[in-house]
Amino acid sequence: MITQQQDPIVVLERELKVKFDQDKKDELRALAADEPTYQGKVKKILAHLKEKNKGNYKMIRAIENLEPLYDAHDFWDYQPVPKAYEKVDESMFDKPIGE
């Protein structure tokens, strides 16, 4: 079962400030189903949304602002810090790295 934290649709709805109907959510999940990584799923969904919203410059700008967060980062991907798309539990605040 996918949790809200792991579901890219929920994250994108929040970040893009949109609400997809259930049919659109199912379509986007099916579109990204063959991607093995969370980042890959989000990138594929963002590319699809960008293509479908060509005339909506506000949406295009929001998508373009999100895209770099899901790119591979040779340095940061190997550091002990949360990724931009990871939810951090409050119990982890003020603890040393590596605990």
Q: What is the pLDDT of residue 2?
A: 43
Q: What is the pLDDT of residue 3?
A: 41
Specify the pTM.
0.71
Classify each residue of 76-86 as buried b or exposed e, where b means 16 or more C-beta atoms within 10 Å of its C-beta: eeeeeeeeebe
Residue of 64 and 74 predicted with greater confidence: 64
Q: Please report where in the chains the tokens 């579901």 appear, as a residue.
A: 7
Q: Over 70: is that where the pLDDT of 50 sits?
A: yes
Spatial distance between the Cα atoms of 43 and 39, rounded to a whole number of angstroms: 6
Q: Over 70: is that where the pLDDT of 91 sits?
A: yes
Q: Over 50: is that where the pLDDT of 99 sits?
A: yes
